[in-house]
Structure 1
Amino acid sequence: MIPMFEEYQNTYKIESANEIKPGLEAIQVAMEKLGNPQLAVPTIHVAGTNGKGSTIRMIERIAQEHGLTTATFMSPCIENVHDQIRLNGQSITPERMNRAFEEAKEAGLSGLLTEFELLTVIAFIAIRQAKPDLAMIESGMGGRFDSTNVVEPIVSVIPSIALEHTNFLGDTLEKIAWHKAGIIKKNGYAVIGEMPETAQKVIEEEAHMQQATIKINGKDFKVLDDTWSNEVICMSGLHPSLKGEHQKGNMALAIQAFIEVAKVLHIELVEDRVQQAVATTNLEGRFEQLASHVWLDGAHNPASARSLRKTIQQVLKGEKVTMVVGILKDKDVEAVLRELEQVSDDFIFVAVEREQDRLMQPEELMKLSHAKHKQIASSVLQAVQEKQKEGSVVVTGSLYLLAQWRSILQQVLE
């Protein structure tokens, strides 16, 4: 359930199915009814396991620094449905959301779509109404059969491939890469990050089949220290504000993607604007500092937990670190814990009242944890306040859960 989305549905009497139905048939029908709003604005489409949000936010800031108006559609929400659709860097207003729902109601979409498909439709309507210069669309799950895959993007971006949603996408990197590669279009342009060779091969084969141009981080472009370069351009003085060495890879993708956008939109790329953009990019829940010694990060799968572990080793080197953790049942919980236990021996697992059927209970997490010191807290606030005075506290786990916890902590912590 997407916070506040149901209120709009009730107001406009638009019903949706609360389930996942991979496939494009239903949303293609909806798009036709609406006159294909997804084709109204130049678009970048991003799919992958990790790094999607960071890459989109950096592209967004680069575009804005070059004078472009922007729109983004990302998942999941941080606080409520409004922050999933951003116009010029600001969450969509209730007034604009109402206008989008009015158009959806007039098109007679009630009962035709799943909840996420309907949200995707609303995003495309709102973006068309706003008429930005550039839109960035994040795939919800997978790519090939995700409801966002009705766009015809200038650039398709795939930052990373790792095991995720194996019940829907398959249990091997090759199967997952096949789903992600589905966002590459005929005669299109694709930018991909460094990833396992088996996954890269699948994506390269898809690009070849689609006769698409593909650019690979580390091969066709790269970042070394503070310098980005490809075969014709070199830019230095790049210092991403987002923490962690992995963010340099996301920055590399964002710059390469925007270079293609600049060509298509006939914009001159300006080095100091790129420098300013990457230095001022922010993204909620990506090693986000909420207060003194309190950090929030969505390490919801082994790959993102590995990135968090490396970031802690880099940013909080030598400090005592307490991990406050909550994870959904469908994640590879043990692999996530093994990564985080390399930087902390002090874990707190938080009891959660809502959506207990989706969450792994703290007692189960305690049994799986190898940490020397581990306990259960009745609330995330209690856990943070108890440990904040002892050293750094990193609140982490499933993005779904972090959205709730972030709101609670922001109201109290300074």
Structure 2
Amino acid sequence: MQIPGLDAYKEKWGIGSRSVIEPGLERMERVLAELGNPEQHDKIVHVAGTNGKGSTIAFMKAICESHGVTYGAFQSPAILDVHDQITINGQNATEVQLDSAMRRIAETKDADSLTDFELLTICAFLIFNESNVEIWLIETGMGGRYDSTNVIPQSIAIITSLAIEHTNFLGESLEEIGEHKAGILKQDSDVFLPEDIYLPPFEREADMKNARLFRMRPLTEDIELSLLGEHQRMNATLASTALSQYLQLDDTLLRSGLKKAFIPFRMEKITENIYLDGAHNPAAAKALVETIQAQFSNEKIHFVMGILKDKDFEEVLRTYETVANKFTFVDFSYERALKSNRLVELCRIQNVSCKHISEIDINLLNNDNYRSFITGSLYFLSEWKLKNRI
């Protein structure tokens, strides 16, 4: 998986990390030991799950900000480039910060053994330490147990959701995938998860590690959220409950934070008629459709869709077809992008077209008679946003 903008830093500092997915913690542990174990911190919330990780962290960021608490957040994939994967109090990591971290890593003897994601994970730990922030918000890249972020020795865990994903790495059943995500539970720690999640893997892990498992119900309707969709009530619940273990939350400040939470590409309103939503798997597509049914039930819906060929694009398409009046399938430049004509072949509704990303004009979309949802891969959404200078 190529991380936009990372190659320039690797070349500058002579780091030969690899653009591959290679689960395991041994490489991380060796390099971190050489660096003095910067991953050790006393207030970390570690977030795993198939969907909802980004939204849950967005709520935690907003709650920290409303309470005047400093935080660092590490998330993936990049929205525009490598800098936005590491944020300090809402600000992207700077070139100076990344240069400093890369220089230190380049001086270790095992730097070249790392994958690119491992390299970036270590950069996040170094930058958070240097910035002396109070709370770390860490999102797993994939799975959990063997994800590079799981070198942290202690944390509160959040499991946002569980669905079939990354079957070539994580397995083909909820049991197998849950086993990976349960791996982020730490000894004698707390873990928060939705009450309706498939529980057995988490119960077993909690028993082995003497961890306390809390099944949560969504927030009540009287609490106003900035992020649309009923599923966000559970994400907000998980976020606020986990943070309450570290912070004394004030109800007024909590409500203020939950009203201000923001995440790019999650029902992000661009104009009155255009929204961006990076739903790239069936569970996320289902959540988007439920939001559309709740918020825009009497409107004509246009999906502008670009997606990766290694995703379950047919099931995503079938889900969107339940509410769609029109599709535009888009070719974009990312190396794993699915060709738009493949989606045309599969699509079961009549009003369909193919376009190149350069033809998706914001003004034309905003002025037609549809509510348009630009969706699919975050790489597609990022490229479109850059081309339209948004």
TM-score scaled to structure 2, two decimals?
A: 0.96
Distance 1:304 1:354, change over 3 A: closer
**Residue 191 (structure 1) aligned with residue 197 (structure 2):** no
Contact 1:96 1:126 in 2 (8 A): yes
Distance 1:154 1:40 in 2: 9
| 1:58-92 superposed Cα distances (whole Å, 9 cap, x missing partner) | 11221222221110000001110000000011101
1:405 paired residue number: 384
Distance 2:155 2:179 in 1: 20
Distance 1:405 1:310 in 2: 25
2:234 paired residue number: 249
Contact 1:290 1:410 in 2 (8 A): no
Gaps of 5+ in 2: none
2:96 paired residue number: 95
Contact 2:289 2:323 in 1 (8 A): yes
Question: In structure 2, what residue type is equivalent to 1:200?
Answer: L
Structure 1 residue 316 displacement after superposition: 2.0
Distance 1:364 1:112 in 2: 38
Instruction: State the SS of the aligned residue for 1:388.
Output: helix
Mapping 1:257-406, distance limit 5 Å: 257-262=242-247, 268-355=248-335, 358-379=336-357, 381-382=359-360, 384-389=362-367, 390-406=369-385
Equivalent of 1:223 in 205, 215, 219: 219
**Residue 119 (structure 1) aligned with residue 140 (structure 2):** no
Distance 2:256 2:233 in 1: 15
Question: In structure 2, what residue type is equivalent to 1:316?
Answer: F
Structure 1 residue 173 displacement after superposition: 1.0
Contact 1:293 1:388 in 2 (8 A): yes
Structure 1 residue 195 displacement after superposition: 4.1
Distance 2:272 2:68 in 1: 35
Distance 1:180 1:76 in 2: 18
Instruction: State the SS of the aligned residue for 1:117.
Output: helix
Question: In structure 1, what residue type is equivalent to 2:266?
Answer: R
Gaps of 5+ in 1: 227-237, 263-267
1:234 paired residue number: none
Question: In structure 1, what residue type is equivalent to 2:257?
Answer: A
Question: In structure 1, what residue type is equivalent to 2:356?
Answer: S
Distance 1:340 1:140 in 2: 26
TM-score scaled to structure 1, two decimals?
A: 0.90
Distance 1:108 1:306 in 2: 46
Distance 1:38 1:334, change over 3 A: same
Question: In structure 2, what residue type is equivalent to 1:290?
Answer: I
Contact 2:121 2:148 in 1 (8 A): yes
Instruction: State the SS of the aligned residue for 1:191.
Output: strand
Mapping 1:108-257, distance limit 5 Å: 108-196=109-197, 199-218=198-217, 222-226=218-222, 238-257=223-242
After superposing on structure 2, the runs of 4+ consecutive aligned residues of structure 1 that deviate more than 3 Å are 383-387
Distance 2:379 2:322 in 1: 24
| 1:93-135 superposed Cα distances (whole Å, 9 cap, x missing partner) | 1111111112212233431201111111111111111110001
Equivalent residues, number: 388
Question: In structure 2, what residue type is equivalent to 1:67?
Answer: G
What is the root-mean-square deviation of aligned Cα atoms in Å? 1.5
Contact 1:48 1:161 in 2 (8 A): yes
Contact 1:156 1:183 in 2 (8 A): yes
Instruction: State the SS of the aligned residue for 1:174.
Output: helix
| 1:174-211 superposed Cα distances (whole Å, 9 cap, x missing partner) | 11111000000111110112444xx2222122112211
Larger deviation, residues 137-146 vs 377-386: 377-386
